[in-house]
Every structure is written in C-alpha cells, then in structure tokens.
Amino acid sequence: QVQLVESGGGLVQPGGSLRLSCAASGRIFSINSMGWYRQPPGKQRDMVATITRDGTTNYADSMKGRFTISRDNAKNTVFLQMNSLKPEDTAVYYCNAEAIIRGFTYNYWGQGTQVTVSS
C-alpha cells in the first residue's frame, strides 16, 4: 500500500501562483512514477503532469510553460508549481502514484486538494 497526502491548495487570484505538495508513505520503494491530475466541477479527471523516478516529466499541453512538476526522492515528495493561474484551472487536484508490486501495476490516489482561481 502507498499513502498520499496532498497540501497547498487554496484560493488565488488570476495570474497568481500556488505550489502543491504530495508526500508519499508506505511501500514507496515500489513507486515508479508520481503525478498530478485534476477534476473541474462536473468534468472528468485529467492528467496535469507526471514524473518518473529518474525525473522524466510529461505535461498536458495546456499546462506546458505554466506548471512545473518536480520531486524530492529523499523526502518521497512530489511538487506542482503552478504559475499564471487562470479561472479555468479551478479544480480538485489529486496526487497519483503508480506502483509496481510483484509485476502488477497499482494506482494510488490522494484525497485531493481544492484549487480555486477567482478574483
């Protein structure tokens, strides 16, 4: 099992910045990649960015240049720096960890943190 705890959400004005954090615990040695997903009100959950153990990153096209994902392997923590925020970035942001245990892939999710972009 892997447990994920997110923090850093909140209310921010358009053009502002927020930094989300996600701390992993449990079977962290089994984690292959971590990432952030978001779910706007009434919409599906979509990928924001992912990062592998060796630091390879992947971003959704609409986030490139504004969002940066990073990780601190020593602290088992992944971060999402969000700049130039827009009202359409308003969503619940979820941390994800993909773990490989005995050849099987498991996906774990945090509880989600609300990000609201509004003036």
Looking at the predicted structure, is the pLDDT value of residue 63 above 90? no
Q: How far apart are the C-alpha atoms of 67 and 86, rounded to whole Å?
A: 12
CB 4 within 8 A of CB 24: yes
To the nearest whole percent, how much of the chain has pLDDT over 70? Answer: 100
Length of the chain: 119
Looking at the predicted structure, is the pLDDT value of residue 64 above 90? no
Q: ∠ CA 88-89-93 to the nearest 5 degrees?
A: 140
Q: Is 44 helix (H, G, I), strand (E, B) or coil?
A: coil
Instruction: Specify the pLDDT at position 101.
Output: 86
| Nearest Cα to Cα of residue 2 among 102, 80, 96 | 96
pLDDT tens-digit series, residues 71-113: 998 888 999 999 999 999 999 999 999 998 888 999 999 999 9
Please give the structure tokens belonging to residue 39. 């779910």
CB 118 within 8 A of CB 90: yes
